[in-house]
Amino acid sequence: MIGDEGRLADVRIKTNGTWGEVYIDGHKIPNIIRYKIEHGTQENQVPVLKLEVQCNLDIETQICPELPEPWSKFYKRDEKWNITDQ
């Protein structure tokens, strides 16, 4: 799957021993815990980069997904917003 703009991100990984830096489209991504690169065996398959990043998270959405444990105990589901009942 290619991004919204129909192009792939330009990713550069620079390592110095056990330390590394990841840049996406020229912007350094701070607070990376780890990264993983997956590349399938199919012809012309594009590599996939998975990042784990410590961050302040703000999700703008019209719905609130159910959160997995241990976070689920920090919010109460409000049934009046259950859109599957409509």
Per-residue pLDDT of the chain (86 residues; tens, 9 = 90+): 555 667 889 999 999 888 889 999 999 999 999 999 998 877 778 888 999 999 988 878 777 777 778 877 777 666 665 555 44
pTM of the shown model: 0.60
Strands 32-38, 27-29: pairing kind:
unpaired
What are the extents of the domains in the chain?
1-56
pLDDT digits (tens, 9 = 90+) for 67-76: 778 877 777 6
3 state SS of 57: coil
Q: What are phi and psi of 13, to 5 degrees?
A: -115, 125
Q: Looking at residue 23, what is its pLDDT?
A: 96
CB contact at 8 A, 23 and 30: no
